[in-house]
Each structure stands twice: as structure tokens, then as C-alpha cells.
Amino acid sequence: MSVLLEVIATTVADARLAAQAGADRLELVTAMGEGGLTPSIGLIEAVVDAVKIPVNVIVRPHSRSFVYDADDYAVMLRDVRAVKAAGANGVVIGMLNPAGEIDREQLARAIDVAEGLAITFHRAFDEARDLQKALDVLLGFDAVANVLTSGGKPSVLQAEATIGELVRQASGSPCTVLAGAGLTVEAVAGFVSRTQVGAVHFGSGVRVGGNGLAPVDSKKVARVRALLDETITPTV
């Protein structure tokens, strides 16, 4: 089976370029320099209309921390409803309690409001105190389709052993380990081979000049797509 390629989009142009170059799915965000915040409703609707591939939308009200207060959670639930109404495939969300554990109660509320949308738990996961325990919590929620992680390191390329362990831990579950942060075109094939990860997530690595604030570079996306397809094609 081919390795899934998810690309961050911040504009309609990004979305079109990534889709045309072979991305399987988009993560739609604004404020990429802050790690991604909830985009506008107009942008969500326009991107959903512009591409045929699934669009997952980040729901993150601010970049201060992944520990939220009651008002933050009220905003996030409104945003989840709005993302669903805008026709997106899924939501990308995450929350921790002050002890550095997954906030199960608030995750359950978000899943309930999402009413069947695919749930990706984002890189709040990497700030959890214990990644294995955090993944166990997420595996208890059938609605969590993906966990986006760099293995707890600034770059996923520094955490190959951890990613491999998480992949094994999630094996046989409905949840896919989505490896992202710091992936490059040059490194992706070896990384996938060594970790056996089934899905990769690209932001800066497929943008012009490797700059997170620059547009998507369709040639880089196409190159990653080709490398991923070669990685899983057995040699005859």
C-alpha cells in the first residue's frame, strides 16, 4: 500500500498546487509561523470547493499553549461545527491537561461535536509527558484516525526509533501515525523505509526555498510523491 502524503496548505493556491502534484490529503491552516491556527470559514469553503482530495482543518484557537481554558474550549467546539458545515473531511485538534496528559474529557467532547469527521490529534501529542501512554489514550478513541507527531523532537528525523515504536504500538488499530516536522525531500525515502510509517506530513519541506511562509513548490511535492511510490514498489 502506498504511503499517504499530507501537505499543509495556507491558501487556495497552495491547495491546488499540492493536489495537482500528488498530495493525498491537505491540512489547512493559517499562521503557519505559529504552528498553525484555525483558518477562516471563507478559506475552508474555498479550498474544499477547489480540490477533490480530502481537506482536514486545524482547530487551534491560539498558539500560547495546548492547555486551554473553558472559553478556549467553547471556541474550539464552535469551530469544529463550522468546519463540518463547510464540508471539510476532518479536524486536526489537540489538547493537554496541566499534568501533560491528553485531556480525554475535552477530546471526547470535540469528537462528539465533530459527528463523524475524521479526527487527527496534532502535535500537542509531542508535548505530552509520556508519548507511549498518550498514544494508548488516543487508541482508546475509535474516532482518532491519525496522530501527527515528530516523535517528541523538533524534527522527526531525530526521532526515528521513537516513530518506529509508535508505528508498532498503533499497528492493527484504526489510528495511523502521521510523521511530520522537519521532513525533507532528500530524507523521506530512507525515513519511511527505516520507520515503516504509513503516512507523512510536509510543511516547509515542500515549499519554495524550504520557507514555511512561502508557497507550495509543486515540483517538490511531485518528487516526494514519486519517492514514496518507489519506496513501496517491490523490485522485480
pTM: 0.95
**Residue written as grid cell 513501496:** 232
CA distance 130 to 152: 9
Residue 192: is it exposed, middle or buried by C-beta count within 10 angstroms (0-12/13-18/19+)? buried
pLDDT exceeds cutoff 70 at 232: no
From residue 167, alpha-carbon distances to 173, 179, 199, 207 in Å are 10, 10, 10, 27
SS3 content of the chain, % helix, strand, coil (to 5): 45, 20, 35
Please give the grid coordinates belonging to residue 204. 516547509
The pLDDT of residue 1 is 72
The number of domains in the chain is: 1
Higher pLDDT, residue 234 or 128: 128
For residue 175, give its domain range.
4-232
Task: Convert the pLDDT of each residue in 17-39 to its tens digit.
Answer: 999 999 999 999 999 989 999 99
Please give the grid coordinates belonging to residue 189. 525515502
Task: Convert the pLDDT of each residue in 1-12 to its tens digit.
Answer: 789 999 999 999
CA distance 152 to 154: 7
Are the C-beta atoms of residues 185 and 210 closer than 8 Å to each other?
A: no
Please give the grid coordinates belonging to residue 186. 532528500
CA distance 126 to 80: 22
Q: What are the beta bridge partners of residue 216?
A: 207
Domain of residue 110, CATH code: 3.20.20.380
Confidence of residue 15 (pLDDT cuts 50, 70, 90): very high
Give exposure, 24-46, as e/b (b: 16+ Cβ within 10 Å): bbbbbbbbbeebbbbbeeebbeb
